[in-house]
């Protein structure tokens, strides 16, 4: 691997780690708004409020953590699969700085809350709040990454494209289209037409950006970490094309009860339910591959995290198809049930994929192994035990709200006290999850200094306490 | 065999939304879709079925793939994405061209709204809308009423005829319907609480009026932003023409007691839950209350008919939990700590004056 290529990967890699430490922390902080709102009144002195913190949180975890860690993984995977060096590595390196700058500028502008400036005011689209100026910078950065990745694929030494390349390259292009629609095409529509285009963006931010990239990454790490060929080539083709066919039309399931022509809502619902096909294809492939060599799941951390991610992915999508039907949707819509779902997908499934990719890549770009198996086990068990509790607390609070308001005709104001306990539990468990992320960040940063040298063929994580870890760790 | 089973299972799953027919969607049917839509759907369905059969049973010859065919398939990915985008653009185009309804929101940039209570405050609703955006109110409040919301507790005081329609939104430059409700829907907030001063006070310190509220304090907004935002809130659910015509400044009540009561009605936040025009809100309206017969629930669960007199009113304000008006929740806070004897007198006079 050339030095510039390593440099580019490292930049995207460590930036994502930084945002991972920050984004969820803000989430935990703002969850206090629902417990002791007066305790957060001091934010008003800083021109800040819960609602701005929430935009910070979602933008940081999506554009800071998820996107940057995925790009780091892509920059590693694509050259490996094509058996060439990353083309134009310098460009992706500078794209990394541009991206970081855009994320930081985005935060600054959200904080400033400028009113009615076409370039600097935030936009009304969830997850696309970034002001136009930031959007332009992000578009430039994305184009730079796509350019370099596509050139790498064109320069490949192997004629065939492994399924990961399909997902990653296709995913980068659909990401670009989606981003352009969400941030620019929406400007051309007014009234409810605007909301319909917004809906197209809202779900495709998940479906055409995060899902194909995450799944593509898992498609690479699962077979390689399990040391098994992929279970079924047919399934991978089926999964890819049905994903591309069904995903982009489902956005309106976020606004099923808004006034709109029913047929387009119906289209979104049917598409959402059909989505179970690509999901099952992917999940079967991902779980059946290591099944041949099951011991590896216990030995290899990247595999463990990926398999866990896949389990969360399956749960998310079963929940998703279930709640997309009208009969369920009207009941749980507007409640925190939806946020629970969002966290299961992003903080559960795709964060697990991201962590798996990072564990795998870290030794290979820095030349050092992770110094502590114990710490990493802690991170894993937090994601495996505390995270589901966090999810359940979120769901619980959503369900209580839904029952209280829909069935018992209580007002929202009356329901606030009914969900207090569930929200307390959510904050506590969420704090646990944040701790897990911070531990993970600490583990990687510390391994930079004390991790023993890595050579290809070794496991990413040391087996027992090395001398260089100053006796901190026991196996 | 296994494959066929899988396909059957999937077919069952896919037909689920059909089974769960939507009694909660009392809106026009899919027959509205243009014919071209059905042609496209038919093509898509055939293509999908054919593709799945091929993927499951067909011959795989990946060795025949060339760079050109890769490019063709790559283009197909993009085309598929754009195809659904077109499907969304069709209704989006239709939606923004529908005629506005009579009550459609209709405020232009720069236009000023006078506080309907005659307090002399004013603000720009259009700019208020942008303030609403910049401060992320959308993450706790929605701006549309579903038919489902009327029977349930989602939108206290909203009337069935206020369920949102496409035409209500045509004059918005963009919409912020919202996906989450941690606070009430605001579609008709201006009809319920047409009082800019209250809205400003509530934004600055929500728990002054609603002790349990989780809404953040927006005291950091500038004076102008607060006024614009309050003007926007007041513009919601009110006929723009009537608001524009303005109100003849309400004749100052002769009686100083009534004037004081009116002021207390706002500053204590009674306005948050009680209207004075007869319409229902979180609590019953004050209009025509005095002398009326009401049905109340007593603490032991029995119901009783009472006539509203001064004693009843005093009790309702000082110990609201003692007699709960039927059909309303028991959420009114007690004002025993916050009103003096003379305040109470003034409030009673004011309520009595609202015939
Ligand atoms: C990488 C990890 C995470 C990701 C990707 C993530 C993603 C998200 C997303 C997408 C939403 C918006 C959901 C929607 O409106 O549809 C959200 C909201 C939220 N998140 Fe996270 N999140 C993460 C971690 C956390 C953690 C650890 C906490 C800790 C308590 C947390 C607390 C919250 C809260 C309180 C909300 C707002 C929910 C509400 O409005 O009631 N998040 N997050």
B50-99 pLDDT, tens per residue?
A: 877 877 777 766 556 677 878 888 888 888 888 889 889 988 988 888 89
Closest C-alpha among B80, B163, B240 to residue A243: B80
In this structure, are B214 and B297 located in the same domain?
Answer: no
Partners of A410 on chain B (C-beta within 8 Å) are 153, 329
- Lookup: tokens for B213: 């509220």
Q: Has residue B112 got a pLDDT over 90? A: yes
Of B22, B165, B214, the CB nearest to A326: B22
In this structure, are B334 and B302 located in the same domain?
Answer: yes
Q: What is the pLDDT of residues A264-291, one digit of tens each?
A: 888 888 889 889 889 999 999 999 999 8
CB contact under 8 A, A276 and B93: no
* Residue-level pLDDT at B7: 65
Closest-CA distance, A248 to chain B, in angstroms, reads 6
- Rounded to two decimals, what is the model's pTM? 0.89
Range of the domain at A4: 1-160
CB contact under 8 A, B148 and A330: yes
CA closest to B148 among chain A residues:
A330
Closest C-alpha among B143, B176, B180 to residue B158: B143
- Region A139-162 average pLDDT: 91
In this structure, are B123 and B240 located in the same domain?
Answer: yes
* Residue-level pLDDT at B247: 64
Q: Tell me how far apart the alpha carbons of residues B240 and B191 are, in angstroms, rounded to a whole number.
A: 11
Residue A262 lies in a domain: no
Does ligand 1 have an atom closer than 6 angstroms to the CB of A347?
yes
Q: Tell me how far apart the alpha carbons of residues A229 and A223 are, in angstroms, rounded to a whole number.
A: 6
Residue A235 lies in a domain: no
In this structure, are B211 and B165 located in the same domain?
Answer: yes
Which residues touch A247 (CB under 8 Å, ≥6 apart)?
A203, A204, A207, A208, A211, A271, A275, A278
Q: Has residue A187 got a pLDDT over 70? A: yes
Among residues B244, B265, B298, the one where a domain terminates is B244
Q: Has residue B184 got a pLDDT over 60? A: yes
- Lookup: tokens for B187: 């579609």
Residue B90 lies in a domain: yes
Q: Has residue B209 got a pLDDT over 70? A: yes
- Lookup: tokens for B95: 């939606």
Kindly report the protein residue whose alpha carbon is nearest to atom 3 of ligand 1.
Answer: A347
Residue A232 lies in a domain: no
Residue A94 lies in a domain: yes
Closest-CA distance, B165 to chain A, in angstroms, reads 5
Where is average pLDDT lowest: A65-69, A212-216, A453-457, B65-69? B65-69
Residue B104 lies in a domain: no
* Residue-level pLDDT at B33: 67
Ligand 1 centroid to A339 CA: how many Å?
7
Does ligand 1 have an atom closer than 6 angstroms to the CB of A386?
no
Closest-CA distance, B72 to chain A, in angstroms, reads 12
Partners of A259 on chain B (C-beta within 8 Å) are 27, 144, 164-166, 168
Ligand 1 centroid to B139 CA: how many Å?
12
Q: Has residue A475 got a pLDDT over 50? A: no
Q: pLDDT above 70 covers what percent of chain A? A: 97
CB contact under 8 A, B93 and A193: yes
Q: What is the pLDDT of residues A340-374, one digit of tens each?
A: 999 999 999 999 999 999 999 999 999 999 999 99
Cα–chain center distance at A252: 21
In this structure, are B197 and B293 located in the same domain?
Answer: no
| Ramachandran angles phi, psi of B106, nearest 5° | -150, 75
Residue B265 lies in a domain: yes
Q: Has residue A390 got a pLDDT over 60? A: yes
* Residue-level pLDDT at A336: 95
Of A193, A195, A261, the CB nearest to B177: A195
Asked if A452 and A369 count as a contact pair (C-beta separation under 8 A), the reply is yes
Closest-CA distance, B24 to chain A, in angstroms, reads 7
Kindly report the protein residue whose alpha carbon is nearest to atom 26 of ligand 1.
Answer: A24
Does ligand 1 have an atom closer than 6 angstroms to the CB of A28?
yes
Would you call A18 an interface residue with chain B, using a CB distance cutoff of 8 Å? Answer: no
Residue keyed to tokens 């890819």: A240
| Ramachandran angles phi, psi of B306, nearest 5° | -130, 155
Of B80, B152, B176, the CB nearest to A124: B176
Q: Has residue A465 got a pLDDT over 70? A: no
Residue B71 lies in a domain: yes
Give the C-alpha distances (Å, rounded to integers) separating B348 from B244, B332, B335.
32, 17, 13
A15: pLDDT confidence band, cut at 50, 70 and 90?
Answer: very high
Domain count, chain A: 1
* Residue-level pLDDT at B196: 93
* Residue-level pLDDT at B70: 83
* Residue-level pLDDT at A472: 45
Residue B103 lies in a domain: no
* Residue-level pLDDT at A469: 44
Would you call A120 an interface residue with chain B, using a CB distance cutoff of 8 Å? Answer: no
Q: What is the mean pLDDT of chain A?
A: 92
Would you call A161 an interface residue with chain B, using a CB distance cutoff of 8 Å? Answer: yes
Q: How many CB atoms lie within 10 A of CB B263?
A: 14
Would you call A254 an interface residue with chain B, using a CB distance cutoff of 8 Å? Answer: yes
Give the domain CATH number at B185.
1.10.760.10
Does ligand 1 have an atom closer than 6 angstroms to the CB of A433?
yes
CB contact under 8 A, A326 and B84: no
Kindly report the protein residue whose alpha carbon is nearest to atom 1 of ligand 1.
Answer: A347
Kindly report the protein residue whose alpha carbon is nearest to atom 41 of ligand 1.
Answer: A336
* Residue-level pLDDT at A292: 85
In this structure, are B148 and B206 located in the same domain?
Answer: yes
* Residue-level pLDDT at A307: 94
Q: Tell me how far apart the alpha carbons of residues B270 and A43 are, in angstroms, rounded to a whole number.
A: 28
* Residue-level pLDDT at B3: 65
Q: What is the pLDDT of residues A36-52, one digit of tens each?
A: 999 999 999 999 999 99
> What is chain A's length?
475
Q: What is the mean pLDDT of chain B?
A: 85
DSSP tag of B6: H
A222: pLDDT confidence band, cut at 50, 70 and 90?
Answer: very high
What ipTM was estimated for this complex?
Answer: 0.92
Q: Tell me how far apart the alpha carbons of residues B233 and B158 are, in angstroms, rounded to a whole number.
A: 15
* Residue-level pLDDT at B205: 94
Does ligand 1 have an atom closer than 6 angstroms to the CB of A419?
no
CB contact under 8 A, A264 and B33: yes
Residue A248 lies in a domain: no
Does ligand 1 have an atom closer than 6 angstroms to the CB of A253?
no
Q: Has residue B193 got a pLDDT over 70? A: yes
Q: Tell me how far apart the alpha carbons of residues A160 and A163 are, in angstroms, rounded to a whole number.
A: 9
Partners of B176 on chain A (C-beta within 8 Å) are 124
In this structure, are B55 and B78 located in the same domain?
Answer: yes
Does ligand 1 have an atom closer than 6 angstroms to the CB of B180?
yes
* Residue-level pLDDT at B21: 47
Closest-CA distance, A234 to chain B, in angstroms, reads 6
Three-state DSSP state, B180: strand
Residue A231 lies in a domain: no
Residue B106 lies in a domain: no
Closest C-alpha among A247, A182, A180, A240 to residue A208: A247
Q: Tell me how far apart the alpha carbons of residues A269 and B180 are, in angstroms, rounded to a whole number.
A: 19
* Residue-level pLDDT at A470: 45
Closest C-alpha among A294, A451, A282, A446 to residue A353: A282
Where is average pLDDT lowest: A172-186, A251-265, B171-185? A251-265
Q: Has residue A300 got a pLDDT over 60? A: yes
Residue A425 lies in a domain: no
Partners of A333 on chain B (C-beta within 8 Å) are 179
Closest-CA distance, A17 to chain B, in angstroms, reads 27
* Residue-level pLDDT at B20: 47
Which residues touch A137 (CB under 8 Å, ≥6 apart)?
A98, A101, A102, A105
Residue A373 lies in a domain: no
Asked if A277 and A242 count as a contact pair (C-beta separation under 8 A), the reply is yes
Range of the domain at B287: 256-353
* Residue-level pLDDT at B330: 84
């Amino acid at each position: 691997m050339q030095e510039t290529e390593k440099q580019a990967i490292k930049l995207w890699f460590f930036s994502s780690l930084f945002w991972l430490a920050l984004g969820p922390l803000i989430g935990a902080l703002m969850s206090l708004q629902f417990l002791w709102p007066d305790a957060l009144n001091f934010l008003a002195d800083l021109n800040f409020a819960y609602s701005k913190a929430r935009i910070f949180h979602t933008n940081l975890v999506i554009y800071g953590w998820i996107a940057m860690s995925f790009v780091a993984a892509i920059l590693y995977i694509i050259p490996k699969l094509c058996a060439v060096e990353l083309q134009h590595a310098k460009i992706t390196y500078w794209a990394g700085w541009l991206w970081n700058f855009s994320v930081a500028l985005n935060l600054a502008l959200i904080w400033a809350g400028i009113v009615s400036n076409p370039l600097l005011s935030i936009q009304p689209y969830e997850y696309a709040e970034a002001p136009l100026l930031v959007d332009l910078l992000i578009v430039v950065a994305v184009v730079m990454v796509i350019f370099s990745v596509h050139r790498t694929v064109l320069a490949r030494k192997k004629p065939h494209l492994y399924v990961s390349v399909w997902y990653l390259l296709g995913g980068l292009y659909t990401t670009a289209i989606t981003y352009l629609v969400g941030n620019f095409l929406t400007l051309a529509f007014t009234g409810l037409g605007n909301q319909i285009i917004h809906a197209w963006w809202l779900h495709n931010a998940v479906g055409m950006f995060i899902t194909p990239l995450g799944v593509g990454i898992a498609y690479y790490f699962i077979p390689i970490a399990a040391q098994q060929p992929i279970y079924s080539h047919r399934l991978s083709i089926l999964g890819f094309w049905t994903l591309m066919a069904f995903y982009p039309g489902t956005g309106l399931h976020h606004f099923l009860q808004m006034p709109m022509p029913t047929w387009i809502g119906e289209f979104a619902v049917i598409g959402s339910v059909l989505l179970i096909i690509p999901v099952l294809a992917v999940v079967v492939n991902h779980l059946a591959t290591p099944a041949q060599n099951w011991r590896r799941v216990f030995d290899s951390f990247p595999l463990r995290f990926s398999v866990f991610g896949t389990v969360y992915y399956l749960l998310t999508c079963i929940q998703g198809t279930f709640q997309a039907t009208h009969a369920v949707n009207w009941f749980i819509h507007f409640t925190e049930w939806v946020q629970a779902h969002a966290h299961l997908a992003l903080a559960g499934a795709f964060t697990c994929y991201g962590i798996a990719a990072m564990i795998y890549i870290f030794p290979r770009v820095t030349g050092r192994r992770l110094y502590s198996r114990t710490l990493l086990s802690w991170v894993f068990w937090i994601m495996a035990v505390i995270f589901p509790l966090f999810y359940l607390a979120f769901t619980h609070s959503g369900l209580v709200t839904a029952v209280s308001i829909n069935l018992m005709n209580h007002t929202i104001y009356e329901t606030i006290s009914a969900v207090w306990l569930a929200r307390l539990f959510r904050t506590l468990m969420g704090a646990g999850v944040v701790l897990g992320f911070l531990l993970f960040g600490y583990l990687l940063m510390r391994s930079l200094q004390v991790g023993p040298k890595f050579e290809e063929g070794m496991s990413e994580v040391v087996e027992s306490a090395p001398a260089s870890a100053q006796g901190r760790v026991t196996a | 065999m296994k494959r066929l089973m899988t396909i059957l299972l999937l077919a069952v799953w896919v037909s689920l939304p059909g089974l769960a027919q939507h009694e909660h969607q009392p809106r026009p049917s899919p027959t509205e879709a243009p014919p071209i839509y059905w042609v496209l759907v038919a093509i898509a369905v055939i293509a999908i079925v054919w593709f799945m059969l091929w993927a499951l049973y067909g011959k795989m010859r990946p060795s025949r793939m060339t760079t050109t065919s890769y490019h063709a398939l790559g283009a197909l990915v993009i085309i598929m994405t754009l195809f659904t985008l077109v499907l969304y653009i069709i209704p989006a185009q239709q939606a923004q061209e529908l005629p506005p309804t009579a009550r459609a929101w209709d405020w232009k940039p720069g236009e000023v709204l006078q506080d309907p209570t005659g307090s002399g405050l004013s603000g720009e609703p259009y700019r208020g809308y942008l303030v609403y955006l910049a401060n992320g109110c959308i993450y706790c409040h929605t701006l549309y009423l579903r038919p489902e919301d009327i029977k349930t507790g989602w939108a206290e005081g909203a009337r069935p005829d206020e369920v949102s329609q496409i035409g209500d939104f045509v004059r918005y430059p963009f919409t912020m319907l919202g996906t989450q409700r941690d606070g009430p829907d605001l579609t008709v907030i201006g009809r319920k609480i047409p009082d800019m001063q209250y809205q400003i006070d509530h934004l600055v310190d929500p728990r002054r009026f609603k002790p349990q509220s989780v809404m953040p304090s927006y005291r950091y907004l500038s004076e102008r932003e607060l006024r614009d935002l309050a003007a926007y809130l007041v513009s919601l659910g009110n006929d723009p023409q009537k608001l524009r015509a303005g109100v003849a400044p309400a004749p100052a009540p002769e009686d100083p007691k009534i004037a004081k009561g009116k002021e207390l009605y706002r500053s204590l936040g009674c306005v948050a839950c009680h209207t004075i025009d007869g319409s229902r809100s979180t609590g019953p309206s004050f209009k025509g209350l005095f002398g009326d017969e009401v049905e109340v629930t007593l603490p032991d669960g029995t119901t009783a008919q009472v006539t509203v007199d001064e004693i009843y009113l005093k009790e309702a304000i000082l110990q609201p939990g003692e007699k709960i008006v039927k059909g309303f929740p028991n959420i009114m806070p007690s004002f025993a700590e916050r009103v003096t004897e003379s305040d109470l007198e003034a409030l009673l006079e004011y309520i009595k004056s609202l015939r």
